[in-house]
Chain A
Amino acid sequence: MTAATQQSESTVGEQDVLAVAREQVLERGVGLTQDQVLQVLRLGGDRLQDLLALAHDVRMRWCGPEVEVEGIVSVKTGGCPEDCHFCSQSGLFPTPVRAAWLDIPGMVQAAKETAETGATEFCIVAAVRGPDKRLMSQVRDGINAIRESGNDINIACSLGMLTQEQVDELVEMGVHRYNHNLETARSHFPEVVTTHTWEERWETLRMVREAGMEVCCGGIVGMGETDEQRAEFAVQLAELGPHEVPMNFLVPQAGTPYEHYETIEGPDALRIVAAYRLAMPRTMLRFAGGRELTLGDLGAEQGMLGGINAIIVGNYLTNLGRPAERDLSMLEDLSMPIKALSDTL
């Protein structure tokens, strides 16, 4: 341990990366570098429990025991002009998903169902390149109706790439957080999306942050990226410094270019969760889509004890999750309190 503290972070190659991380991340709150994340991702199966335990200690030390619970709903489904290869909502792939709009009563009901789970976050999502006037006005009417129903849940949005005017409009509507995923490492992005660039996404995130909204930005693992690219993405996210990073695990969708991809192995998913926690000690790390299939019930619990401190409960945008009650009772069994609305105000 003493040796570890005396060496600089750039010359730790010969040392055990978990010993280094204990001093650097747990004690000092400094996230792992790209090389260090890669070393963590390459740890053998015999070190996985040690890794998860350290990631959990880091989360408890720098974030605390609370878990932020969120529900999401798709207000505009399908028919998207973009070609994100993982997505069943692209209009460019022969998937069975048909275009659909959720009406205002439906939005109010979805926000109510979410609040009833004890969640403090409700995210309104649309499958679009960026919002048009109709979508912006639907979101505005939806938020007003949710407030008029007496529901004071925090409202986030995920509506694609924004103009500065749209950013300002969302702030004015009271949207406190904006989700826009970079999805994968910059070097891998052109393999996943060809209709827009990683840099265009970054630009939206920059505007969101400068306007004072919380930035929510994560991605999907299991899209053919290498371990090097997983490490690259971790430090690119750390550089962005989002409030929240949602972690999705690819669920291959019928009709998409990734239809026949295999889901990643549970231990690999857990290793990635823990590595990302060590790269971003203070960031909210959320379990998002694909955890049910990739990790199952036991793996979900191991993830909660391996760096995760936020979850999406209930269903996703086009796929189903496990019932919210199962996640809530898991949190109770783990003695992890659900973050209350009053904590966030």
Chain B
Amino acid sequence: MDELYCVHCGRTVEQCDAAACRNARTSLEPPRFCAQCARRMTVQVTPSGWTARCSRHGETTSRSHQV
């Protein structure tokens, strides 16, 4: 599925400030916003991965989301 929203700031992909959201810092952050609807997700980081859940679109994990 295409990503409509930035997972770091929740803005549309067109409106996202790439300098602020695609850098060394955000490469060390799990997604915070759902790429499909921009809802804030509930995120659990574990020693070897992360799980992020959108109340509408369900769960993504570090294993299913290879960047």
Measuring CB to CB, which residues of chain A are less than 8 angstroms from any residue of chain B? Answer: 71-74, 77, 96-100, 102, 106, 109-110, 113-114, 117, 251-252, 254, 292-293, 313-321, 323-324
Contact = CB atoms under 8 A, between A and B. Distances in A.
Contact of B44 (A100, A252, A293, A316): A100
Nearest first, the 3 closest Cβ-Cβ pairs linking A and B are A96-B32, A314-B47, A71-B47
Query: Which of B8, B45, B47: most chain A Cβ within 10 A?
Result: B47
7 contacts: A71-B47, A73-B46, A77-B45, A96-B32, A251-B25, A293-B25, A319-B29
Contacts of A254: 8-9
Contact of B45 (A109, A117, A317): A317
Contact of A100 (B10, B43, B47): B43
A260 to B, nearest CB: 10
Given A100-B42, A320-B29, A293 B24 contact: yes
Given A96-B10, A315-B49, A315-B50, A106 B29 contact: no
A72 B10 contact: no
Interface size class of B (residues with CB under 8 A): 20 to 34
Contacts of B28: 251, 292-293, 319-321
B50 to A, nearest CB: 7
A114 B47 contact: yes
B33 interface: yes
Given A73-B46, A252-B25, A324-B47, 7 more contacts: A96-B10, A254-B9, A314-B47, A315-B46, A319-B28, A319-B29, A323-B48
Given A96-B10, A97-B32, A98-B41, A106 B46 contact: yes
A318 B10 contact: no
A170 B49 CA distance: 28
Contacts of A110: 46-47
Contacts of A292: 28
Query: Which of A72, A98, A293, A313: most chain B Cβ within 10 A?
Result: A98
A72 B29 CA distance: 16
A178 B50 CA distance: 25
